[in-house]
Amino acid sequence: MSNNYLKKEAFNKPPFFISYLITDPKEYGDDIETFSKNLKNSLSKYNVDIVCFRDKETSNIKELAKTCLRISKQFNIPKVLINTNIDLAIEAGFDGVHLTSNQFDKIKTSKEKSLYTIISTHTQDEVNIAKINGADAITYSPIFYKENKGEPKGLENLTKVVNTYQDDNFRIIALGGIIDGEHINKIKTTKASGFASIRYFTN
């Protein structure tokens, strides 16, 4: 039985603590060679379950996105997503999409296209809307302090959201200011489905 099959089977059976890597051009670079080197380095060092290609500014986004998908599949990542772009997700063959908090109206479209759908949320009302509209998972943020990202939600608030909304078909993933193992251990105490980060995977 292949390692890829085993990883996907584990991912599909909650409770499973998800490790979610999000790329950023400031950390991974905006040319193919640099991006490839840095992504391979992160995936070699860390156990990753979801990769999301996130780039809102680079001119060669399509080429970088396809590079991200190819490398992630080489490392047997169960879910490879792209940020916001449903059309490119379908064209390039991504597993899913990570929508922004301005794209709640796109959840149903994404699901109709058989895409694994995560959406960013920042309030309990947004979490509720995401669940009602059929998202597979949400990121809830910011949990810890991060410059220019507003007041952190904190672990108590995250626990309340998890206890209210999370179930086997709807996963809540903590995001924001998670940069080390101590942060991850604190997230685990809330029973959240996992954590997402940019900086943790590039430390």
Mean pLDDT confidence for 173-196: 97
pLDDT band at 10 (very low <50, low <70, confident <90, very high): confident
Structure tokens at 173: 């993933």
pLDDT at 1 over 50: no
What sign has the CA pseudo-torsion 13, 39, 141, 109? negative
DSSP 185: H
**Residue 142 Rama label (left phi>0; alpha psi -120 to 50; beta):** beta
> pLDDT digits over 14-36, tens only?
778 999 999 999 999 999 999 99
Contact residues for 37 (Cβ-Cβ < 8 A; gap 6+): 29
pLDDT at 2 over 70: no
Q: How far is CA 135 from CA 6, 86, 118, 162, 187, in A?
A: 24, 14, 6, 15, 21
Q: How far apart are the first and last CA of the chain?
A: 33
Structure tokens at 81: 């997503």
pLDDT band at 7 (very low <50, low <70, confident <90, very high): confident
The per-residue pLDDT of the chain, averaged, comes to: 94
Are the CB atoms for 196 and 139 separated by under 8 Å?
yes
The residue behind tokens 């998670």 is: 178
HSE-CB at 48 with a 13 A cutoff on CA atoms is 31
Residue ranges of domains in the chain = 3-202
> pLDDT digits over 51-76, tens only?
999 998 888 899 999 999 999 999 99
At the top level of CATH, which class does the domain 3-202 belong to? alpha beta
Q: Give residue 149's pLDDT.
A: 64
Contact residues for 152 (Cβ-Cβ < 8 A; gap 6+): 142, 143, 144, 145, 146, 176, 177
Q: Give residue 12's pLDDT.
A: 79
